[in-house]
Structures are given as C-alpha cells and as structure tokens.
Amino acid sequence: MGAIARNIANNITTSGVFTSGAITNDSVTGITVLANASDGITLISSQTASNSASLSFTTGIDSTYKAYKFVFVNIHPSADGHQFQFNLSTDSGSNYNVTKTTTIFRAYHPEDDSSVDLTYRPEYDLAQSTAFQPLTDYQGADADQSSVGTLTLFNPSSTTYVKHFICTTNNLSQDDLTRNHFIAGYGNTTSAINAIQFKMSTGNIDAGTIYMYGIK
C-alpha cells in the first residue's frame, strides 16, 4: 500500500492536478474513445426573438429522442404584466390547439422583503383546454427584467401515450418580485406532437432566445 500511495503522490502536482504520467496503459488510455459528458443532450436548434409575435419550432421534434428540453434565456416582453406561454401541435404548426390538462403553483419574494408567498394558481391551470398554457405571470418589461426556465416534453412521437411535460420558470416581475413557477401536465392526445410555439399572452417577445435540445 505504501508503494501505491507514493506512486499516486508522485503524480499529483502541488496544486492537486494529476500529471500526464498518472495516465497509463493500465488505466484509461486503454480506451480509444471517451464519451463526451454532453453526449446525452444535443442542441438541435434555437430561436431568438426580435420583437417577435411568437417563436415556433416546427422541425426537429420527432422519434429521434425520447425527450426534448427547451431552455428559455432572458425572455423579455414588449409590455408589463403579461404571461409567457406555450402550446403544442400535431400538424407541424398549422394549428397550436392540443387539448391539455395542467397544474401550476408559484412562489414569490419581493426585493424589499415585505412579503412571501407559495400558492397554487388555479386561474392559470387548464382542464381539457386547447388554450395556451401560461408559464409565468406579471412579467416585467423594464430593461433589466426577463424570464428564464426550462420545459421538458416527454416522448412526443408516441402514438400510444399522452404527452407529459414539466416546466420551471423564474421571472422578475413588474412589481420587482422574483416569481418561481412550477408547471406540469399533459397534452391529451395519442397523436405525435411535432411542433411547439411560445408567445406572450399579449404583445410581442421583445428579446430572448429559446434553445431546443434532444435528450437520449
């Protein structure tokens, strides 16, 4: 054991980094290719808003992946107080009207520390509705205000099961609160989902980018 410990110690720099001599044919160099840690998630496409009425993904959602993750970065509305929302399509984006049943709750905390809240938001959930599903509320439109988050859509190409989704967002609201939303539900269809659209409840998406990833 002493020799092994000395050999390890001799191959570590004073800053705690392994030297090249620590990697030998008896260890990982016998592997010709190392899997990239990011191989499980693949960037498929992205959409960047510029005073856009909506951002839609009409290609790339197919049976290649069992789950698709959408990442929202600095979604900035054109006006205060509106909701960022989404809907699904089974006809490549000709219609965004999939019937959904959903649930949503929200936590908030203001900058002045005056109050806190954690509540179920029944006014934003859906019960067998084709409407767009809100993902935020009371978005602020100041220059430094935006929303961020992720939405994961599971097995959209299935023709057996309904289409579950899970979403978490956070936004800086018009009244200077951080609002953390937790949304989940399902598109009640056994048809394949092949498109998704994001938009504001009123007005445009002034700026921001949505990335679509496929998950193996």
Tokens in use for 75? 């979604």
Q: Please check whether residue 149 is in contact with residue 168, taking contact to mean a CB–CB distance below 8 angstroms.
A: yes
Average the pLDDT over 61-82 and give the result: 97
**Can you say how many angstroms the Cα of residue 204 is from the centroid of all Cα atoms in its chain?**
20
Q: Flag whether pLDDT at 27 surpasses 50.
A: yes
Per DSSP, helices labelled H in the chain are 2-10
Cα torsion 155, 156, 162, 164 to 10°: value is 70
Structural domains for the chain: 1-34 (no CATH), 35-215 (2.60.120)
List the beta strands (DSSP E) in 16-138: 41-52, 55-57, 67-77, 84-89, 100-110, 117-120, 133-134
Q: Flag whether pLDDT at 110 surpasses 70.
A: yes
Sole residue written with tokens 């949304």:
183
Going by pLDDT thresholds of 50, 70 and 90, the confidence category of residue 9 is low
Indicate yes or no: pTM above 0.95.
no
